[in-house]
Structure 1
């Protein structure tokens, strides 16, 4: 008598196969094959003349007849097994942000990733991806436009849904337009204000290769503490959107005051003195004693200033630039003779 199949339990399973099913019927002893449609079971075991345990092969969505083959014949195709499409799901994207230029290494967590054929960020295919397990994929973001896009995984079973937890946000690159001041002392430690666009969530501010401490004020402003340095350094701001264009920042040495001429003048004020030295180009003030005075920078090594009135006697004279304050030279106020 040929075998006969009366039922199968469970009667449905994943298209990826591997579902363990129990086949019930008659005359099952000596079975030489168990088939799901045209495909042989991945494995099977004859438990008795009325029962077989089998593991389903992979299949396509839909129903297929289940048959048992023995030397006496093949059972009728009256019992079916239904393959159900188990779609992949993306439950987490890490990191969830990156530059619009692409190239961010991203890890996807979810389910049913085995056999993935595509990973997409919005409508764009990832340039590469690796399925490390059924629940994990490592991939690289393609370039995109600023904003959020769903990340989806496609397998032979279909494409994952655009879940709320499966979005990647493309961040626009930061851009600098202004730096103030644009120069400072070689010893650093002065405050510098950077202005531009897309500066939110700044991760680093650099003066050349030197990393600065900083505060994000807004999407258009960052304040930073200049580190020590020399020469001209390119200042850049980094955010999840990438690194900004550079703006030049000059490190300036402190001024050196070598001579003052004349060295004395009337206590009534008005004497015009010439100061000789170096580093005068970025002069911000000249003081005679505690009083700021008017001045004119003639060159990096020369400037003139007007001495204000004051009590007779010696007073210190100093020059301050963005690089610091010079050592003092002495100017002597002299009382006019009394006739």
Structure 2
């Protein structure tokens, strides 16, 4: 006589289906020492019931006018605990994979990023991976994991749009580097790197629309400036010109 599912939350509330024979007129379904609620005789071979709260492994029995059945094992599962999210931000388009670490993750069935839900790949009880779904718009959303033991929140994930570059001031400077640039655009607050002609340049974020950048040494001529954040990159082609110093 099988029971499905054979596990559920310690808080109770799991709807289970018990299949067997001679189940007509079932008067009670018991989980360990506690009686289930909402017992329904679906047919002479099937009964549904809602599990009460409990812990550990308990025997589930049915009582009919003919007696009490043999016990079936039901496993109570605690709510998951999340300890780490491998990435706290990513593109609004989604598609990047993140890893969630914690405990009680082996029965995970879904991971929600705000109102959008994705199906995870369970690695172990302590780890799962999930492809982030697309977000409705840029901004922070809560992340929750649902398992047989319940749902646990606690993480925040930020959807980020690609950066853009509007202006670079000044537009030229010495090949020896050290020129202080002001770069304006959009979605710059989460900038992770700035390169000038492929060389990493030191920068600081002023606000969401402004960066302060110092040019590295370079070769005379127009070069590309690239700004990158977790969502992607923006390139200003020939956006800065290195100018060689005078020689005598």
For the criterion TM > 0.5, the same-fold answer is: yes
List per-residue Cα deviations over 1:203-255 (Å, max 9, x = no partner). 12222232325322221222211122123322222222222225221111122
Partner of 1:142: 52
Partner of 1:175: 81
Aligned: 1:129 with 2:39: yes
Partner of 1:192: 98
| Alpha-carbon distance, 1:132 to partner | 4.0
Over aligned residue pairs, what C-alpha RMSD do you find?
A: 2.0
1:220 to 118, 123, 126: 126
Q: Which runs of 5+ in 1 are unaligned?
A: 1-90
Q: Which runs of 5+ in 2 are unaligned?
A: none
- Once the two structures are superposed, the pairs formed by residues 1-339 of structure 1 within 5 Å of their partners are 91-145=1-55, 147-156=56-65, 158-162=67-71, 166-229=72-135, 230=137, 231-328=139-236, 330-339=239-248
- Taking the aligned partners of 1:140 and 1:282, their CA distance within structure 2 comes to 47
Aligned residues: 245
- Taking the aligned partners of 2:193 and 2:118, their CA distance within structure 1 comes to 28
* Pair member with larger Rg: 1
C-alpha spacing 1:214/1:289, structure 2 compared with 1 (3 Å): farther
- Taking the aligned partners of 2:179 and 2:43, their CA distance within structure 1 comes to 85
Question: Does the residue aligned with 2:192 lie in a helix, a strand or coil?
Answer: strand
Residue range with higher mean Cα deviation, 136-145 or 309-318: 136-145
TM-score, normalised to structure 1, is: 0.67
Using CA pairs below 8 Å that are at least 6 residues apart, which structure has the higher relative contact order?
2
- Taking the aligned partners of 1:214 and 1:112, their CA distance within structure 2 comes to 39
- Taking the aligned partners of 1:107 and 1:276, their CA distance within structure 2 comes to 61
| Alpha-carbon distance, 1:126 to partner | 0.7
Q: Is this contact kept in 1: 2:109–2:120, CA < 8 A?
A: no
TM-score, normalised to structure 2, is: 0.89
